Structure 1
Amino acid sequence: MARRLFPVLVAFAAGAALVALAPGLSTTLQRAVGFGADKKAAQSAAKPEAAETKTSVIPMDDERIKLAQIEQAGVGPATIAKRLVVPGTIVPSANRIAHVSVKLSGTVAELRKNIGNDVVKDEVIAVLESREVADAKSEYLAARLTDELQRELFVRDKMLWDSRVSTEQQFLRSRTTAAQTDMRLNIARQKLLALGLQDSEIVALPKAPEASLRRQDVRAPISGRLVERKVELGTAVGRDSLETELFVVVDLSRVWVELSVASADLPSIKEGQPVRISARGLSETVTGKIIFVSPLVDKDTRTARVVAEIPNTDARWRPGSFVTAAIALNERDAAVVAPISAIQKLDGRPIVFVRTKDGFEKRDVVLGQREDETVEIVSGLMPGDTIAVTNTFSLKAELAKPKDED
């Protein structure tokens, strides 16, 4: 055995001596004698694996953040809801529609409002001329005059009776007549109220010009917008198959949303539930509540009518528009909620970028329930943290860059 190893040892020794004596030998020759591979392995061992890992902090000052158009927002608690999304249609609230009709026969003498005009309650929007209202006003004025005269006679007869100057029979007759005239006056007043006059107008009748006796003001019953006008100047209105409706006034400060909900989803729908309304072409959403759930299901569509009410003070939600309604089936409070745009994925795991004094730090997070454009953060963030919410892809790209070598 020793004899076999001896030639090998001699050759190895000769090669080592050759390298030592001739350091300028080629790399090929060094590899041939087994020295090049050891050097490469040593160089490889000199680079620790830690240098290959990517940093989780992205240095970035305010100026760079502004140039990158990265918006930031704080995270915190919010309400997360599971929602049922159904289509709907905006309609006027049935409680806020008024049909202005006449209660007497006459002719349209004035039209003070046109379609699209805003009106306030009790504002005069038209004037009628009517023989019927002239007769009613004249009857009231006559009854009022008779009542005043009879009251004076009654007061005089009462004084005479108290002084025992007149007979009791005269006093009783005067009292009865006064009661009758007062009753006629009340009947005449009630007739004017039935024709549409207000108390203030009735009180002012004795001093009103004679020409106004045949005129009747038509007033808006509610505040809103005049959406229909069905008569023109000189139109005969009233009874005997004539037009009785003059205007339609709608108050659009609150509107209804009519929804069609499948029968299978009805057990989850209750009156009072919040509902979020959105529409194509509108960036804003509005929140209302369900005010009616029909107990009947349509036999053909197998859906039920559900009505929600929403505010509409700026008249953005126009009746007839198609909308999307998201009905909150259940709601709960989440400790931390973030915009969905803030979430990126790295190696298949969700991450966010948290603002620090030096820039942004990558933070692994665990996601919970999602609602529209927000998502619950189960872990990884604390309330009050500030995160990047737009252009986060640029931060992800920056994170993926290899670390510069020294």
Structure 2
Amino acid sequence: MNPSTQTWLRKNASWIALPIVAVAAFFVGGQLASESEAPSTGDEERTHEANESIWTCAMHPQIRQTEPGQCPICGMDLIPVGGSASSEGEARRVSLSERAKVLARIRTAKAQRLGSGRVERRLLGRVDYDERSLRTVTAWVGGRIDRLHVSTTGERVRRGQVIATLYSPEVYSAHQDLIQAKQQLERLQDGATPSSRVAAEAALNAARDRLHLLGVPDGELRAMERASKPSERARIRTPFGGTVIERLATQGSYVETGTGLYRVADLSTLWVQLDAYESDLSALQTGQDVRLRVEALPGEEFEGRVTFVDPVLDPKTRTARVRIEVKNQDRRLRPGMFVEASVQSAGTANVTEAPVVIPATAPLFTGRRSVVYVELEDAEEPTYEARVVTLGSRMGDLYPVLAGLAEGERVVVHGAFAIDADLQIRGGASMMNLPGDEENPTPAGNHQQQMPGHQH
């Protein structure tokens, strides 16, 4: 290359390099862009394929498999993860195979109109003492307890039975005055002046009155008059019969007049204290018959009658105390036993105005709404649809449906939680994400009352 050409290239190098760099940048940029787009598309396809190939169990979501089959834990048919619904209606529905339905123990019941029959309400409570029969045997005189004739609780005592013996100087002194007064009167039988006899009789009556005031019963007093010498022992008798439920004193201790020795209760009549929610109070009234069952005596039933309904609710439990009186002549019932009471309340006379009711185990409560799963009759396989309903106050084992369900539709009464879990895994609208939180709130009191023992 000659010197003139080299000089020209040095002067025009920047103009020659500029288009070359631009072309190179265009090709490099396009290559990078195509490379960046290719992995993104591939990742999306691989993710889509992975989602379609993952199967899980509605009852055991930790199970993950790449092909359909049965759950190795419970045997239910596996379902695809992250399925999408083409419509809002399908998003609320879940279909199961007959085998999965059996394994999930799905049971349904028909929504029925209450009609003119009677509704059974069930209340819980416990057996208690009849407060009118609770009495305390007290010491009618002060002294030291030499002997307690009833040593343990649970023993039955008869009226007039000696239950304790006390050493009492006060009784000894009064008894001595009685014996002396009687002996003085006997000595004045012959040859005494009328005034002397009157004074002796007055002294004898005063000694009797003193012992009466101490609490000596008439029969005991006559025995004390026949004695030849005073006694320093006082026998305490129970003025009523019953069962000893508490011993209040110990042998050898000193007691004062009026100190309690035993608590006695008559168990031939008992009370049953029930807890009634606000929704149950309208079905309860004084004089109503009640059937009672206790866990300790399966198969047996007792009859009682409502004698009192507390007009004030407990602010903590939001319940009212209901008192049932029941006869217990054979002593089969015992205070402290847990009781389930069945109360019959009248239904609605007009069938057309009677509410549609469902079993209390059917609805699922989320706090702001009530959801039931309705079985679709026209589906080829067992299909269930989540439905938001409005419920009234609970009536025993039933809930009245105010809106959201028609008479004759079948609702799931057992296994609803399994269906809801299946719907959540499939990506559908389960009870936790159904629309209408504010439109169909759970009735006040229903959720709190239903949850104990609520099984699905």
User: Normalising to structure 1: TM-score of the pair?
Assistant: 0.50
Higher helix share: 1
Specify which structure has the bigger relative contact order, considering alpha-carbon pairs within 8 angstroms and separated by 6 or more residues.
1
Higher strand share: 1
